[in-house]
């Protein structure tokens, strides 16, 4: 059956720059002298360390447990010794430090004993717990814990596997699909078993013919041996950025437009990256925790390509492996559209690190000076969400944050960069939007803190008033008890005195007065 395709609004077609890194097979990156494994792999959850300095650990051993149900486990990427638990710069635009476990590899690569889990003989709860315990998250950039996404109690009609990889320069998913298609399809079927979808669609941009062929062959082979008859279909989609965005891919493949404030599962759709499906297969079929990922290293380097990199590997080690050319002036993590410049090359590779780009003025010329916005509307036509970026720009620049959030829906912006890419005035629109979002969040936090402080004050005042009333009531009750006691005592005393008086008096009934 030919899958009907739809078109999402807006979008752009930047130069792909895929051929620079997609030709060579995936290569394993060598062990660095040390691995810095962050306990915070995403903004949605963190782990608490369960090892101490000096501990010997094995490859795949859990070294960090989730702090809550929204977190995922952290594992040792190799065997070695824990040498430090401290704060290190993270892969974030701020360059701020975060708590991490520093591991010195012993070079032996000794694994823990693997414990595969057969999906056919395991309950849904067992599968979800294994996915959480294996530390699996969304590997398309969102880094959302997969066990939470799969575990939603919602009726799912369609399972989408995202192999679009629309952003320029990034080719890690392309190579993964070419080389490990069977594992991706197997992982997709496990996800299908968990959410009960009627069909599985694998969307791949049509500029990846080798990946499309490999995935189609794997899907065909899985169908021939599948007694349950799960329908797995590989669908080439037009190359247009940001077709790899979840809502955009859902629109292209199903025609469903997920509105703002809603999630895909509300409309019977769930979407997972091909890397996530691959990780699910490895976790269940082989008992492997998520300790590595495929990373594209490209740009101004001698040997661009895709490498299987252990989590915690410093970015500087990868760049040294690929041979940075002269003229490199900054290093990007992620693609040129949604990535960011790394403040420190000591930052480690995390579960969400899909690409490292050595940037130079020749590859990424500095933008021309920013000019005045003339409200031409070019940015609005390019926006895949249907926002009005020029209105958001004016509201953000004027610090009219209520308008930005309420009237122009700034938090619906996915920061894809389409608006800035097409802006004839060369305005860095995304920078303005990020500024406005951070200010709105900070203001909301201040209001939340003020509300909490007011609630605490009012609660304390009410408690003091209640305690005062209770104390007054106790005193009044005590006083009444005392008065009652005194009254009862007085009556008894009077009665006793009367009795004594009567007992001491002469017997008037038998004695007569002496007449003399």
Q: Look at residues 271, 145, 292, 155 and name the one whose alpha carbon lies nearest to residue 202.
A: 271
The strand order across the sheet containing 80-89 reads 35-38, 97-105, 80-89, 56-57
The pLDDT value recorded for residue 486 is: 76
Distances from the Cα of 173 to the Cα of 3, 22, 187, 211, angstroms? 22, 10, 15, 9
Of 42-51, 85-94, 138-147, which has the strongest mean pLDDT? Answer: 85-94
Reported in sequence order, the residue ranges of 267-361 that DSSP labels E, i.e. its strands, are 269-273, 292-299, 305-310, 330-333, 340-341, 355-359
The pLDDT value recorded for residue 456 is: 92
Tokens of 489: 């005592």
pLDDT confidence tier of residue 491, bands split at 50, 70 and 90: confident
Tokens of 215: 């995935």
Name the phi and psi angles at 223, rounded to 5. -70, -35
Question: Is residue 442's pLDDT more than 70?
Answer: yes
C-alpha to C-alpha distance for 259 and 257, rounded to whole angstroms: 6
Question: Is residue 226's pLDDT more than 80?
Answer: no
CA angle 89–66–184, rounded 5-degree value: 85
**Lowest model confidence (mean pLDDT) among 286-290, 377-381, 498-502:** 498-502
Question: Is residue 515's pLDDT more than 70?
Answer: no
Number of DSSP helices (H) and strands (E) in the chain, helices first: 14, 18
User: Which H/E stretch holds residue 308?
Assistant: strand 305-310
Q: Give the mean model confidence (pLDDT) for residues 393-400.
A: 96
Tens digits of residue pLDDT in 304-358: 999 999 999 999 999 999 999 999 999 999 999 999 999 999 999 999 999 999 9
Torsion of CA 240, 242, 12, 307, to 10 degrees: -80
pLDDT confidence tier of residue 228, bands split at 50, 70 and 90: low
C-alpha to C-alpha distance for 364 and 306, rounded to whole angstroms: 21
**Lowest model confidence (mean pLDDT) among 8-12, 78-82, 493-497:** 493-497
Question: Is residue 98's pLDDT more than 70?
Answer: yes
Tens digits of residue pLDDT in 149-168: 887 767 889 999 999 999 99
The pLDDT value recorded for residue 125 is: 92
Q: In whole angstroms, how large is the CA radius of gyration of the chain? A: 35
**Percent of the chain whose predicted confidence (pLDDT) is above 70:** 95
The pLDDT value recorded for residue 167 is: 95
Tens digits of residue pLDDT in 47-67: 899 999 999 999 999 999 988
pLDDT confidence tier of residue 141, bands split at 50, 70 and 90: confident
Q: Which domains does the chain have, with CATH numbers?
A: 19-322 (3.40.50.11540), 371-498 (1.10.1060)
What is the overall mean pLDDT for the chain?
A: 91
Q: Give the mean model confidence (pLDDT) for residues 391-399.
A: 96
Burial class (CB in 10 A: 0-12, 13-18, 19+), 33: exposed
Identify whether the C-beta of residue 272 lies closer than 8 Å to the C-beta of residue 144.
Answer: no
pLDDT confidence tier of residue 292, bands split at 50, 70 and 90: very high
Identify whether the C-beta of residue 224 lies closer than 8 Å to the C-beta of residue 193.
Answer: no
Q: Give the mean model confidence (pLDDT) for residues 225-229.
A: 62
Neighbours of 476 (CB within 10 A): 10
The pLDDT value recorded for residue 137 is: 92
Helical residues (DSSP H) of 286-360, grouped into ranges: 315-322
- The pairing of strands 199-205 and 231-237 is parallel
Question: Is residue 41's pLDDT more than 70?
Answer: yes
Identify whether the C-beta of residue 293 lies closer than 8 Å to the C-beta of residue 135.
Answer: no
pLDDT confidence tier of residue 484, bands split at 50, 70 and 90: confident
User: Which H/E stretch holds residue 45?
Assistant: strand 45-49
pLDDT confidence tier of residue 488, bands split at 50, 70 and 90: confident
Q: Look at residues 434, 346, 363, 280 and name the one whose alpha carbon lies nearest to residue 35.
A: 346
C-alpha to C-alpha distance for 285 and 279, rounded to whole angstroms: 10
The pLDDT value recorded for residue 2 is: 60
- List, in sequence order, every residue forming a beta bridge with 232; answer none if it has no partner: 200
Identify whether the C-beta of residue 279 lies closer than 8 Å to the C-beta of residue 161.
Answer: no
Question: Is residue 514's pLDDT more than 70?
Answer: no
Q: Give the mean model confidence (pLDDT) for residues 393-415.
A: 95
Tens digits of residue pLDDT in 229-278: 678 999 999 999 999 999 999 999 999 999 888 889 899 999 999 999 99
Burial class (CB in 10 A: 0-12, 13-18, 19+), 481: exposed
Neighbours of 225 (CB within 10 A): 6
C-alpha to C-alpha distance for 251 and 8, rounded to whole angstroms: 6
C-alpha to C-alpha distance for 287 and 43, rounded to whole angstroms: 26
Neighbours of 154 (CB within 10 A): 15
The pLDDT value recorded for residue 15 is: 95
DSSP annotation of 73: -
The pLDDT value recorded for residue 225 is: 62
- The pairing of strands 97-105 and 231-237 is unpaired
**Lowest model confidence (mean pLDDT) among 191-200, 206-215, 384-393:** 191-200
The pLDDT value recorded for residue 334 is: 94
DSSP annotation of 157: S
Distances from the Cα of 308 to the Cα of 28, 141, 294, 342, 355, angstroms? 5, 17, 4, 20, 12
Confirm whether pTM is higher than 0.75: yes
């Amino acid at each position: 059956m030919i899958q009907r395709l739809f078109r999402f609004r807006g979008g752009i077609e930047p130069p792909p720059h895929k051929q620079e890194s997609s030709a060579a097979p995936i290569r394993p990156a060598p062990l660095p002298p040390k691995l810095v494994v962050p306990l915070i792999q995403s903004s949605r959850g963190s782990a608490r360390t369960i090892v101490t300095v000096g501990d010997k650990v094995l490859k795949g051993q859990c070294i960090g447990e989730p702090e809550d149900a929204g977190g995922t486990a952290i594992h040792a990427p190799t065997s070695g010794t824990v040498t430090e638990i401290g704060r290190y710069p993270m892969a974030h635009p701020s360059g701020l430090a975060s708590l991490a476990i520093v591991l010195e590899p012993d070079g032996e690569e000794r694994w823990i004993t693997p414990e595969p889990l057969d999906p056919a003989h395991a309950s849904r709860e067992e599968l979800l717990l294994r996915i959480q315990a294996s530390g699996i998250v969304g590997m398309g950039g969102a880094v959302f814990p997969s066990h939470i996404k799969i575990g939603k109690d919602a009726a799912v009609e369609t399972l989408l596997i995202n192999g679009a990889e629309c952003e320029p320069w990034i080719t890690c998913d392309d190579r993964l699909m070419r080389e490990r298609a069977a594992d991706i399809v197997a992982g997709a079927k496990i996800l299908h078993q968990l959410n009960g979808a009627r069909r599985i669609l694998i969307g791949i941009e049509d500029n990846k013919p080798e990946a499309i062929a490999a995935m189609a062959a794997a899907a065909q082979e899985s169908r021939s041996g599948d007694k349950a008859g799960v329908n797995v279909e590989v669908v080439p989609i037009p190359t247009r950025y940001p077709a790899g965005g979840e809502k955009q891919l859902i629109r292209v493949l199903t025609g469903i437009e997920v509105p703002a404030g809603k999630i895909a599962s509300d409309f019977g759709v769930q979407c997972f990256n091909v890397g996530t499906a691959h990780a699910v297969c490895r976790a269940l079929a082989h008992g492997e925790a998520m300790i590595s990922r495929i990373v594209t290293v490209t740009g101004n380097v001698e040997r661009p390509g895709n490498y299987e990199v252990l989590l915690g590997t410093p970015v500087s080690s990868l760049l040294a492996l690929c041979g940075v050319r002269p003229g490199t002036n900054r290093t990007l993590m992620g693609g040129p559209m949604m990535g960011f410049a790394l403040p420190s090359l000591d930052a480690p590779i995390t579960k969400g690190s899909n690409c490292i780009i050595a940037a130079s003025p020749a590859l990424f010329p500095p933008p021309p000076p920013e000019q005045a916005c003339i409200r031409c509307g070019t940015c609005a036509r390019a926006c895949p969400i249907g926002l009005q970026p020029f209105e958001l720009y004016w509201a953000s620049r004027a610090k009219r944050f209520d308008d930005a959030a309420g009237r122009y829906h700034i938090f619906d912006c996915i920061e894809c960069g389409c608006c800035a890419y097409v802006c004839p005035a060369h305005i860095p629109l995304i920078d303005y939007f990020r500024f406005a979002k951070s200010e709105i969040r900070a203001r909301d936090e201040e209001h939340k803190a003020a509300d909490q402080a007011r609630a605490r004050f009012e609660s304390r005042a009410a408690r003091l008033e209640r305690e005062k009333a209770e104390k007054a009531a106790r005193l009044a009750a005590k006083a009444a008890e005392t008065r009652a006691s005194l009254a009862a005592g007085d009556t008894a005393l009077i009665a006793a005195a009367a009795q004594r008086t009567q007992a001491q008096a002469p017997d008037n009934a038998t004695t007569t007065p002496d007449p003399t």
